Structure 1
Amino acid sequence: MAGGSLAAYLAVAASVLVLCLAACSAPDRDRTVDLIGQDWTAAPGVTAGEDGLHVRATDRRIVQQDGSGGQPNPPLQLYGTHLEVDGDFSVTATIADATGAASLTLYDRPPVVADEFRIEPGSVRLTLRGRDLRVTVHDGSLPDDPTRPRPVYDQQVTLADPAAPLTVSRSGDTLRIASDGETVTAPELGDVFTSGQVWLGLSGEGGSFTVRSLTARALDGGAVSAVDTTRLTVPPARDGLQALAARQRPDFRVGAALALGPLTADPEYARAALSEFGSVTPENAMKPQHLSPGPGVYTFEEADALVDIARRHGMDVHGHTLTFGEALPRWMQDLPTTTEADRRASATALLDYVTTVVTHFRGRLASWDVVNEPFGVDQGTQLRHNVWYRVFGPGYPAVVSRAVHAADPDVAQYVNENGADVPGPRQDALLALVTETNAQGGHIDGVGLQAHVYDLSTDRIDGDDLTRSIDRFAGAGLRVRISENDVTRSEGPDAQAEQYAEVFAACFRHPNCVSYTTWGVDDRYNWWVAPDGRLRQGHDLLFEQGRPTLAHRALRSVLER
């Protein structure tokens, strides 16, 4: 139905929203959950006050490797309260004092956030801008282009009366939007909500707003309850990878890169991540575009949640990453570097960022990737001319390292790079860079060798070569981490498992290799964009659909020998 024809039916306030969604069936007809009173401290951009929840725009976005694009990455409540629903239920919100666009989103599950894109789950988003209401619905199907997800329903309405309530209800396959009891649109949407959960997102654009009240209530024999993910606890597995490793090398850490969304929403992922491993590397939550979407604006909430979960489970946290040529927010990419005055001002902004971030996490992290991929992904040996290089010159690693040491002298510092796992020009360049950085007053303790094996015919890592590489860095007084190991299954699970075991064994058996991390946990969340632009699922990790793979058993066999 066109926006103009809806006006005759609507009398909707930009200040009051009533959302009613139907799901399955259960008892507890009238139970009501006050969502305002829940813990919102980990929701980016949301601050609790005496008059409700104050929401400010964060403008979080996900950029491409080359810095282009900027897919919106609106925040949601991952570490706090979400709803479990069974049967009909309603969510009621009162929104006031909007100075820009105000959005409330109900998600079927958290989105999958990858390096360069976000996969939208089933969701209903209501966005108010003045008298205009926009209703956007995603059904959770995989998009052709993940950087430009297309909603299955997108309707904009000009509101007639900014004082009347709005009702959104879902019954079966139909989503109904009504005002004053009159249905104004009822699209057939299929299975938008199937998980039995509802996750809440509050986000602003170009201003702020206040949520005066927010409640959930069971309707028509349904049930609704609040789930607090801040209480997430998983006991360690006696025969998990970390437990087995600690019996031989108590200080050695077997880790994985983790994301907060699946950690709080997927019990199988959480069980594997928190029972098997002894260290955490945030996949994206500590990259610059996620920590500081605007100059002087910081959204630490999701990273803090990961740190909190890890520390509660006795796990180390490795910070990833401070300086990087990718994953930069637009404000950082656009810092001026033409004149000396430009560079001085930009240097102040960048060092303020480093100091703020390192100080924020001081005492809670074991180590940092102070410099990530300084030579880039093209396997060259020249420093990338990223914003750090353009501002500080080729000595930028030393400048940043000194700033990190000043903010947290106890945190270990690493330079993390791909393609330097075996002897060759790339490794030569990495060793020279770290040696020169420390000669200039830096405090680099070691190197991270990523050990990505995307193609076994070209990327395969020989265990003896890796041992010689670790020996070489040890001779220079540097520790080694295997920092991002993953192995393709394109040549079969046996070949994959053999390569995993070869890399892991070389690290574990060398006293100067202090930790091993695999880049991800479960292939359920392992997605990439193929050269043809299509979304593809990878099969490179130690778990698949919650079950250990042959590669996982290969690592266990190394530890059990």
Structure 2
Amino acid sequence: MLLFMRFRKSAVVAVVCALVAGVSGDRAGTSAPAGGPVEDLLNGRDWAHFAGGKPTRTGIRVTPLDRRITRQDGTGGQPNPPVNLRGPHMAFRGDVRIEAGLRRTDDTDAYLHLYGETPVIYDEWRYERRGVRIGVVGGRLRIDRWDGDSDSPAMTRTFGSGLGLEVRLAVEVRANRLVLEADGEVVGTVPARDVFGSGRIWFGADAGARGKGWTLSGLHARSLGRGRMSVVDAPGLRVPRSSDAMRDLAAVLPRPIRMGTAVAAGPLLTDSAYRRTAGEEFSMLTPENDFKPQFVQPRRGVFAFAEGDTLVDFAEANRMKVHGHTLVWFEALPAWMRAEMADEQRRRVMVEHIRAVAGHFRGKVAEWDVVNEPMSDEDEDYVNGNRGVRPQLWFDAMGEQYIDIAFHAAREADPHAVLYLNEYGVEEDGPRWDALYALLIRLKERGVPIDGVGFQDHEYAAGDRTDPEVFRRKVRALAGLGLKARVSEADVLVDEDEEDIQARQLAGKLAVCGEEPNCTSFSTWGFTDKYGSTADLRHYPPSPGNALPWDAAYEVKPAYWALRDVLDDARRSGTGQVRRTPRTTSGTVSS
């Protein structure tokens, strides 16, 4: 409270001085009117689940994460700073004032993020929506504003000079302007451009890559004038459930299977329909991105488990199993992990990562994709003595043995987890499947502790469609090796007039999984097109694809009813035989 009163008094003085001096343009014009009570957004609030932040007696210590998202080819490096999704956010109308204390011990760049809309993490891309970032950089106050139409800020401005290691920062949201203060002095204003038009503000904090970090020593807010504001805590993770969802039908089969889906932490805590559907309909979740290396270990030895922990906590609250994705992959790697290094060091990095991540989630994650997509896309890797294993940084350092090493490390880190190899394009006949099957035989002969194979079943074009009976042969071939099978990332991209095809393809694979004793689960890669990875990504706003059982408005499609029919028929008959003509009824499902 004393911090707030000092801010208010000095701000009024500064604004009056500005008026007397006749400052115009980017300088403030009027003093702040009286408003509502001061709300503390730090003390007594949840900042323990904030990536890169650690609550201390003096505030939240913000560690440099330098977390970035690379493209599939490993290029780029889109910033991915954390949002305090499980902490407080503001709901307001009218004008509002936010104050923060930033305490540094060195020249670390310190940033406070104010999100009018939380960003959306699609499959390896961050859709940056409206918000601002205010920071102390090189002794100056810097503001970046995102308008929701580009990865890059629409505006960047700097103000003032000579700011010290401890800075009292304030921003007032005044209609269409943002008024900025540093150490009690108004240093400028910028256009707001409706960046907080949602009437909500979520908080984040980040530190520049250099330095030791900084401390958020205070965070307060109040309404101004006739404005109104309240502090909203994150929703609870437990979802009230009925007993007539897909997960319930699958649980009472003669041989129960898990109905799963990929889930993201962002919409889970900010979109009630997403949270309700995920908890209601599914009994297993796969973290879509939040377990991948560039998310959990952005710098060597620096881990960011907050989002992953949230997914695990959600699963526990709703009696869901967690299928971890993924420990070893050639994509979604932080820059440091891609850097040139000696082969033995590369091996050490891989093993250390597996031990740290699988060890952190030991006993909480039921299954792991230990190695993801080891098979090559290049024809030459299947001929002239090549065995079809993809040449990439892990293979280059250790050869095919990298797979053995990874599985042994995962087994040591969590002896009770079920360990899978996950691959795409192996649901159908051809050299890719043949090479994978031969690899599995070699792994078994070498005593590698592999338990099963995940069939991704991404069907993006007509040529990707696979007859369920062809898929069945693959599942049975794995059974012959003593291996489990699962459908791990199913989605079927179609035009609107082809949704019956989508329904048949998904239902056919589920029917096989229900009938074959070694098939343990059926998972889609997300469930609503609103956040689906087949959206027209890197365009603002993204245009949803049509690949999942729910559309972007959470209306169910024929695919949903077809999946239910498979489960219901299996329950009634004990065979799991698919209904040959899937329903075409659509509509919302009550929860």
Q: TM > 0.5 between the two?
A: yes
Q: Is the 8 A contact 2:100 2:168 kept in 1?
A: no
Instruction: Give the Cα separation in 2 of the matches to 1:217 and 1:98.
Output: 29
What SS is found at the alignment partner of 2:141? Answer: strand
Instruction: Give the Cα separation in 2 of the matches to 1:9 and 1:511.
Output: 77
* 1:164-179 map, 5 Å: 165-178=168-181
Q: Which residue pairs with 1:348 in the alignment?
A: 348
Q: Which residue pairs with 2:26 in the alignment?
A: none
Q: Which residue pairs with 1:184 in the alignment?
A: 188
What SS is found at the alignment partner of 1:520? Answer: coil
* Unaligned residue ranges in structure 2 (runs of 5+): 1-16, 20-34, 383-387, 570-591
Q: Which residue pairs with 1:481 in the alignment?
A: 486
Instruction: Give the Cα separation in 2 of the matches to 1:330 and 1:263.
Output: 28
What are the superposed Cα offsets for residues 74-117 of structure 1, whole Å, 9 maximum, x if unpaired?
11111232233344333211111253110001112221112332
Q: Is the 8 A contact 1:81 1:228 kept in 2?
A: yes
Q: Which residue pairs with 2:36 in the alignment?
A: 29
Instruction: Give the Cα separation in 1 of the matches to 2:558 and 2:223.
Output: 45
What SS is found at the alignment partner of 2:390? Answer: coil
Q: Which residue pairs with 2:457 in the alignment?
A: 451
Change (3 A) 1:378 1:195: farther
Q: Does 1:204 align with 2:207?
A: yes
Change (3 A) 1:431 1:226: farther
Q: Is the 8 A contact 2:528 2:554 kept in 1?
A: yes
Q: Is the 8 A contact 1:395 1:437 kept in 2?
A: no
Give the letter for the 1:225 counterpart: S
Q: Which residue pairs with 1:258 in the alignment?
A: 263
Instruction: Give the Cα separation in 1 of the matches to 2:158 and 2:478.
Output: 60
Q: Which residue pairs with 1:23 in the alignment?
A: none
What SS is found at the alignment partner of 2:412? Answer: helix
Give the letter for the 1:290 counterpart: F
The CA deviation at 1:241 is: 0.8
* 1:130-141 map, 5 Å: 130-141=138-149
Q: Is the 8 A contact 2:321 2:365 kept in 1?
A: yes
Q: Which residue pairs with 1:543 in the alignment?
A: 550
Instruction: Give the Cα separation in 2 of the matches to 1:229 and 1:161.
Output: 34
* Unaligned residue ranges in structure 1 (runs of 5+): 1-7, 11-27, 144-148, 337-341
Q: How many residues align?
A: 525
Q: Which residue pairs with 1:122 in the alignment?
A: 130
* 1:410-425 map, 5 Å: 410-425=416-431
What are the superposed Cα offsets for residues 228-284 of structure 1, whole Å, 9 maximum, x if unpaired?
336222123321110111121564100100000000000011011111000010000
For 1:439, which of 439, 445, 461 is the aligned residue?
Answer: 445
Instruction: Give the Cα separation in 1 of the matches to 2:538 and 2:189.
Output: 37
What SS is found at the alignment partner of 1:322? Answer: strand
What are the superposed Cα offsets for residues 359-415 of structure 1, whole Å, 9 maximum, x if unpaired?
111111110001100014558652122222122211111111111111111100000
The CA deviation at 1:188 is: 5.2
Change (3 A) 1:88 1:233: farther
Q: Is the 8 A contact 2:376 2:391 kept in 1?
A: no
Larger CA deviation: 405-414 vs 531-540: 531-540
Larger CA deviation: 491-500 vs 521-530: 521-530
Give the letter for the 2:197 counterpart: T
Instruction: Give the Cα separation in 2 of the matches to 1:263 and 1:405.
Output: 30
Instruction: Give the Cα separation in 2 of the matches to 1:333 and 1:505.
Output: 41
What SS is found at the alignment partner of 1:220? Answer: strand
What SS is found at the alignment partner of 1:349? Answer: helix
Instruction: Give the Cα separation in 2 of the matches to 1:133 and 1:516.
Output: 51
Q: Is the 8 A contact 2:322 2:365 kept in 1?
A: yes
Q: Is the 8 A contact 1:29 1:223 kept in 2?
A: yes
What SS is found at the alignment partner of 1:215? Answer: strand
The CA deviation at 1:547 is: 2.2
The CA deviation at 1:166 is: 4.3
What SS is found at the alignment partner of 1:422? Answer: coil
Q: Does 1:428 align with 2:428?
A: no
Q: Which residue pairs with 1:466 in the alignment?
A: 471
Q: Is the 8 A contact 2:101 2:167 kept in 1?
A: no
Q: Rg larger in 1 or in 2? A: 2
Q: Which residue pairs with 2:67 in the alignment?
A: 60
Q: In percent, how many aligned pairs have the same letter? A: 38
For 1:395, which of 389, 401, 404 is the aligned residue?
Answer: 401
Change (3 A) 1:343 1:412: same
Instruction: Give the Cα separation in 1 of the matches to 2:337 and 2:87.
Output: 30
Instruction: Give the Cα separation in 2 of the matches to 1:439 and 1:81.
Output: 53
Change (3 A) 1:532 1:33: closer
What SS is found at the alignment partner of 2:477? Answer: helix
Larger CA deviation: 256-265 vs 161-170: 161-170
Instruction: Give the Cα separation in 1 of the matches to 2:190 and 2:203.
Output: 22
Change (3 A) 1:225 1:436: farther
What SS is found at the alignment partner of 1:74? Answer: coil
Give the letter for the 1:103 counterpart: Y
Change (3 A) 1:295 1:112: same
Give the letter for the 2:55 counterpart: A
Whose RCO is larger (CA < 8 A, sep 6+)? Answer: 1
What are the superposed Cα offsets for residues 463-520 of structure 1, whole Å, 9 maximum, x if unpaired?
1111122111111111101000001122522222222222222222222211000001
For 2:51, which of 44, 57, 62 is the aligned residue?
Answer: 44
Instruction: Give the Cα separation in 2 of the matches to 1:50 and 1:140.
Output: 36
Change (3 A) 1:524 1:378: farther
* 1:203-222 map, 5 Å: 203-205=206-208, 206-207=210-211, 208-222=213-227
Q: Does 1:325 align with 2:330?
A: yes
Change (3 A) 1:86 1:372: same
Instruction: Give the Cα separation in 1 of the matches to 2:449 and 2:311.
Output: 26
Q: Which residue pairs with 1:233 in the alignment?
A: 238
For 1:157, which of 149, 156, 159 is the aligned residue?
Answer: 159
What SS is found at the alignment partner of 2:356? Answer: helix
Larger CA deviation: 296-305 vs 221-230: 221-230
Q: Which residue pairs with 2:29 in the alignment?
A: none
Larger CA deviation: 466-475 vs 34-43: 34-43
Instruction: Give the Cα separation in 2 of the matches to 1:181 and 1:392.
Output: 59
Give the letter for the 1:299 counterpart: A
Give the letter for the 1:184 counterpart: G
Q: Does 1:71 align with 2:73?
A: no
Q: Is the 8 A contact 1:80 1:230 kept in 2?
A: no
Q: Which residue pairs with 1:103 in the alignment?
A: 111
Give the letter for the 1:150 counterpart: S
Instruction: Give the Cα separation in 1 of the matches to 2:52 and 2:523.
Output: 31
Instruction: Give the Cα separation in 2 of the matches to 1:166 and 1:297.
Output: 28
Change (3 A) 1:94 1:533: closer
Q: Is the 8 A contact 2:503 2:560 kept in 1?
A: yes
